[in-house]
Structure 1
Amino acid sequence: MEMASARSRPAARARQASDQIVAWAACVLVSALSLLLLVAVSSGSGAARLTGEISVLVRTTTTATTTRSSDAVDDVAAVAAAEHCDVVDGEWVRDDDDDERRPLYEPRRCPFVDEGFRCRENGRPDDVFAMWRWQPRHCTLPRFDAKNLLETLRNRRLVFVGDSIGRNQWESMLCMLATGVAGAGDGDGGGDKAAPIYEVNGSPITKHEGALSFRFRDYNCTVEHYRSPYLVRRGRRPPRRAVRSTLQLDAMDARAHRWKDADVVVFNTGHWWSRKKLNLNMSIEAAYQRAMNTLTSWVHREVNPHKSLVIFRTYSPAHTRANSNGGCAKETTPELNSSRISLHRWPGMVNPAFEPSKSGTAAAKLHLLNITLMAAQRRDGHPSVYNVAAAAGQRADCSHWCLPGVPDAWNELLYAMIVKRFS
């Protein structure tokens, strides 16, 4: 079994521009690999050559499973009618219509958002970043309906597995669902089982190494997050080595048995696959490919497609400062011209070892939630220096997202996928 060593995280310090360029290129590479892998599985082909901008891949690999009408009653019919609409081909539009209820929730009334994502409460002077919604060019997404989704999730489990960007999306979903529950904003987000929403183990919302699971009492459904930045298994620290742990690229996270019977599982990975996090005995690309192959094999082997909807959410680009045009500080509006989004080229082929399952059924079990291009346009949506209460010299966070904000749009796409699957 091949293994990779994970370096201990260094203390926060100023990063050199050259390091940031490498990190950005590696992350974009990871995004492209995930898209190509899923395309290869879906098409039954082996290796695929990259011949153009990654943005082209982003536009052409999403299926048309997420288009809905704005009326929840007509959602299923609308999806069927718009089956071939590519929801990734769209734009961010300012939502000034009070009937659209933007933002979708009031952050001060949602106890499920951790401190780093509470941008307005941390001193951000503007709130326009929360007023934008994603509009596909050739179809209409349904308006998010919390009660409709809660009813769909009744007696079911919605599980997010991944890194802290996945936690970002999970907290967004908790807040969006809480708008459909009376009294949900009155609690502290803890384990009071008399509350309409409570953490099943009594744990508070915080950065965590394990898992959190919130139960919506009246619907007997849980919305869970498992922290697994690589998705594959992490081993013990080897003796006499300056590393924190090891990665077993051919084995899923040891807690995978807790996910396989969930009704909806949303996976993500990407930000930790960089030279800043890993000291590998192989290339980052090869290690990532091995991990993705492990994921698809596990889905094929362990998941019952008649019960579970399994989704891979693509990479959410960071906007770290690599040159004079980079960074996210003082950004207040999206990049509305998607043609200006440069997602670096890279040469090469997907490793031929990534052959699809012989039975060809893995593709039917693993769905793609493609948010890469739409997230790349939202440099304005990051916490920047407002990731904690204002302090002199605060380091900008250009990876995570303010809440309410960009992850809400991802969850509107996810909402459409879930309701379509279980209606």
Structure 2
Amino acid sequence: MRGANSIKDQSLIKRLLPCTLHILLPIPLLPIILLSLYFYPFSLPSSPPTKLSPPSSTSTPLLPSAEKGYVCDTPCDYSNGRWVRDKRDPLYNGTTCATIKESQNCIINGRQDSSYLYWRWKPNQCHLPRFEPNTFLQLIVNKHLAFVGDSLARNQIESLLCLLSTVSAPKRVHHKGSRRWYFASHNASVSLYWSPFLVQGVQRSNTGPLHNIVHLDRNEKWAKDVHEMDLIVLSVGNWFLVPSVFYEGGKVLGCLNCEGLGYTDIGFYGPLRKALRATLSSIIEKKGGKGNGVNVIVRTFSPSHFDGDWDKEGTCSKTRPYMKEMKVGEVDEEIRRIEMEEVENAKVKAKEFGGFSLEALDVTKLSWLRPDGHPGAYMNHFPFGPGHVQNDCVHWCLPGPIDSWNEILLEMMKSQECRLSLVNLSSSH
């Protein structure tokens, strides 16, 4: 863009400068001046690139300071609002970002309808700014941001990496236990820990068990790295909807859709609550016991939009958001309610320790209103041909509606940082 601006500047100079010279200089000199401009064009010096301050152990995000009379923004309910038209192009696309998972690169895979890209989420109570990558990077200077959970966590982190790569290229680094990227410009790490139940579990598969095996009271492997995490975003839900056997205290508690195994079917609401509660308690105890706080955000359930069953040629072919009030499905809403309640329960426990911030990134409604944002058949490259066409109506195209999750995440991080700064300021006086 800087090069394009420079060309425009030169073009403007060439149009305006002769007129100015005609007024300011004697007429006989004008032909000489014009010839000089033609052979030796004048150009404005381009603005120097923004220089990033080298991170240090004492670096802090560049946010308004309470000492200068600023106050933190009033908390906003980002969960209620509507999708409105936005003519601006996304910050990235399927060719400018190298970290997009192939099955979510919808336009490159042949989707011709691009109207789903031109909507933005407008909360009822406040303004949601467009994602600002430099601000986000400043907030994670010298920090480790960890996404923990299922494939929706992976979908969100891939969106975030694309947004951040518009100003700073992440480098993939080796780490045992996670997929990790490093932003050398800010000494910041962003990681993805695959843990679809958050607690210890084995996923069902064609070659393994035909149902999930979930230990609701045991930590998963990722928990050993909690001590090095500064911000944790948890994502859970979808894997609890498939046949499972749930354990507690080493004994079978019950199961979900496990005909023939002889166990009591207890559904999945109770096990989901237990898993999330155990996870949040473990984080609080591990970090709080060492006097080292952490920011934890639970991203609420993201509804799917299958017209029909997902494994029986269900599709999602809509091309516009729901424009009228559409009630979230009963199951989706109940999962969201459990997640919101467990965040509030964890806040009570976290009060025993200092430096904790727990919040819910409530995306259930805004995601429910976007049936047009999934890959659908375009999870594969030019998919239509002979044979069965599988649709993905769970994950989100990149770029797409999921980018709004990270816009809200950024606003939540800014609020957390501001509140923490105020607490530190008051405690120092």
**So what's the TM-score if we normalise by structure 2?**
0.66
Q: 2:211·2:242 contact (CA, 8 Å) conserved in 1?
A: no
User: Offset at 1:407?
Assistant: 1.3
Deviations 1:157-198 (A, max 9, x none): 1110010011000000000111112xx3xxxxxxxxxxxx21
Matches within 5 A, 1:111-130: 111-130=98-117
Gaps of 5+ in 2: 1-61, 246-254, 257-262, 419-429
User: Offset at 1:395?
Assistant: 0.5
Query: Which AA in structure 1 matches 2:401?
Result: V
User: Offset at 1:418?
Assistant: 1.6
Per the alignment, residue 402 of structure 1 pairs with 397
Q: 2:308·2:315 contact (CA, 8 Å) conserved in 1?
A: no
Per the alignment, residue 349 of structure 2 pairs with 360
Q: Which of residues 217, 220, 227 in structure 1 aligns to 2:187?
A: 220
Q: 1:95·1:132 contact (CA, 8 Å) conserved in 2?
A: yes
User: Offset at 1:394?
Assistant: 2.0
> Aligned with 1:106: secondary structure?
coil
Counterpart-to-counterpart distance in 2, 1:284 and 1:370: 20
Change (3 A) 1:73 1:156: closer
Change (3 A) 1:385 1:147: same
Query: Which AA in structure 1 matches 2:166?
Result: T
Q: Which of residues 89, 92, 97 in structure 1 aligns to 2:83?
A: 92
Q: 1:299·1:362 contact (CA, 8 Å) conserved in 2?
A: no
Per the alignment, residue 141 of structure 1 pairs with 128
Query: Which AA in structure 2 matches 1:200?
Result: V
Q: Which of residues 301, 320, 323 in structure 2 aligns to 1:315?
A: 301
> Aligned with 1:179: secondary structure?
coil
> Aligned with 1:375: secondary structure?
helix
Query: Which AA in structure 2 matches 1:331?
Result: K
Q: 2:154·2:192 contact (CA, 8 Å) conserved in 1?
A: yes
Query: Which AA in structure 1 matches 2:284?
Result: H
> Aligned with 2:145: secondary structure?
strand
Matches within 5 A, 1:292-307: 292-304=276-288, 307=293
Residue 405 of structure 2 corresponds to residue 421 of structure 1: no
User: Offset at 1:277?
Assistant: 5.6
Q: 2:141·2:187 contact (CA, 8 Å) conserved in 1?
A: yes
Counterpart-to-counterpart distance in 2, 1:307 and 1:360: 13
Deviations 1:121-174 (A, max 9, x none): 000001121221111122112332111211221111111001001100000000
Change (3 A) 1:176 1:242: closer
Counterpart-to-counterpart distance in 2, 1:379 and 1:135: 17
Residue 225 of structure 2 corresponds to residue 258 of structure 1: yes
User: Offset at 1:260?
Assistant: 3.9
User: Offset at 1:242?
Assistant: 4.6
User: Offset at 1:420?
Assistant: 2.6
Deviations 1:315-369 (A, max 9, x none): 000112248xx965331110021x223422799x98xxx8947963269642100
Change (3 A) 1:358 1:150: closer
Counterpart-to-counterpart distance in 1, 2:239 and 2:101: 21
**So what's the TM-score if we normalise by structure 1?**
0.67
Residue 270 of structure 2 corresponds to residue 286 of structure 1: yes
Counterpart-to-counterpart distance in 1, 2:376 and 2:412: 31
Residue 171 of structure 2 corresponds to residue 198 of structure 1: yes
Gaps of 5+ in 1: 1-71, 185-196, 204-209
Query: Which AA in structure 2 matches 1:420?
Result: S
Change (3 A) 1:380 1:277: farther
> Aligned with 2:197: secondary structure?
coil
Change (3 A) 1:136 1:129: same
Change (3 A) 1:321 1:133: same
User: Offset at 1:285?
Assistant: 1.9
